[in-house]
Structure 1
Amino acid sequence: MTAADAGAVASVRVRGWQSAYRGLIPDGYLDAMDIAANTARLRARVLRRDPSVSDLVAEREGAVVGWGCVGPYRHDEEPAPQQGTGTDGELYALYVDPDQVGTGAGRALMQALLDAARAAGHGRVLLWVLEGNDRARRFYERAGFAADGAREPFEVDGVAAPEVRYCRSLSGS
């Protein structure tokens, strides 16, 4: 991802949220999401590039159709149990334009993100997903992730939207 991709990535991210989370978090929150504000935040993040984080885009015919981000696991409150080799990575985000769901863009982007995590020396990748997001959970399970039992409260505009953690080993894959 480059700074020039920020607008397209922001559009994918906002449209992805609005599609994937409709019915899980309040419509008012989703409808108020602003592509311009997201663009500015993404552009600033890319310009101050953190070398431990990989922001990748999926393109089709020269247009950005997906975005994902992977880096070191954020140990906010509960440390992830250590198993295997290497430090843990975290899949921070993976969004595909709603019109591109089912085209393979998400699978290709997932593989590139896993490759980036492996190249960074991560032994496992963890991610958090909304408990009620069944489509995303199936996608992650098909990609080799499994729920590890960790849960985290998440709230949007006063509505509970708990998250569950998924994990995947990178060894031997």
Structure 2
Amino acid sequence: MNGPFTLRDMTLDDCRRVSEIRIRGWRTAYRGLIPQSYLDALDIDADTARRRARFAPDAGDVVNLVAELDGEVIGWSAHGPYRDGEVRTEDAELYALYVAPELIGTGVGRALLAESARRCVARGHRRMFLWVLKENARARRFYERAGLRAGGAEETFETDGVAVPEVRYSGVLPLPG
């Protein structure tokens, strides 16, 4: 499916569908990696409310993109300045990339990543970073095929009493993939 979908800037009206895709993505990709109790407790209405509250199309720092097919949002990515603690750097960070689970492997994720990378280059960013769950082999393969590499940095967050490790990936822009 490398063709019929389009990419565009996200609007406030897209927030609910983006929340649905994000939560379905978590429940699909993170099953067995994050406690099921946490995944089961994810709430689309609460996620939508949080997303709407912090959505600002003209904020400049964070760019939200969606992929759309026949009028329906089927994927979402968000990128902006790399966050080194509370400091924003000259590098870019891919904060999120989710595709409707039934459309994984159809080119939607590749297109969202490529457009995010293109926009980062246009803003003068020379590198892109992102964090991936250490045990998420499918996502790691996806980013590695796009030219990003794990760089040794790891962080752990806790969810429902379980430590969940993440690894940091980076790549020089523009990405080769």
TM-score above 0.5: yes
Q: Residue 69 of structure 1 aligns with which residue?
A: 78
Q: Residue 32 of structure 1 aligns with which residue?
A: 41
Q: Residue 107 of structure 1 aligns with which residue?
A: 110
Q: 1:65–1:96: 8 Å Cα contact kept in structure 2? A: yes
List alignment gaps of at least 5 residues for structure 2.
1-9
Between the aligned partners of 2:87 and 2:61, the Cα distance in structure 1 is 21
SS at 1:122's partner residue? coil
Between the aligned partners of 2:151 and 2:88, the Cα distance in structure 1 is 13
Between the aligned partners of 1:25 and 1:35, the Cα distance in structure 2 is 18
Query: When the two structures are aligned, how many residues end up with a matched partner?
Result: 167
1:130 aligns to 2:133 (yes or no): yes
Percent identical among aligned pairs is 56
Matches within 5 A, 1:9-158: 9-47=18-56, 49-76=58-85, 87-158=90-161
Output the aligned Cα RMSD. Answer: 1.8
Between the aligned partners of 1:152 and 1:172, the Cα distance in structure 2 is 24
Structure ranking higher in strand proportion: 2
Shift of 1:47: 3.5
Between the aligned partners of 1:151 and 1:109, the Cα distance in structure 2 is 25
Q: 2:146–2:175: 8 Å Cα contact kept in structure 1? A: no
Between the aligned partners of 1:31 and 1:168, the Cα distance in structure 2 is 34
Between the aligned partners of 2:108 and 2:81, the Cα distance in structure 1 is 24
Shift of 1:137: 0.2
- Aligned amino acid, residue 149 of structure 1: G
Q: Out of 136-145 and 115-124, give the one that drifted further.
A: 115-124
Hey, which bits of structure 1, 4+ residues long, moved more than 4 A? Answer: 77-80
Shift of 1:46: 1.7
SS at 2:84's partner residue? coil
Between the aligned partners of 1:131 and 1:62, the Cα distance in structure 2 is 34
Q: 1:52–1:120: 8 Å Cα contact kept in structure 2? A: no
List alignment gaps of at least 5 residues for structure 1.
81-86
Between the aligned partners of 2:58 and 2:40, the Cα distance in structure 1 is 30
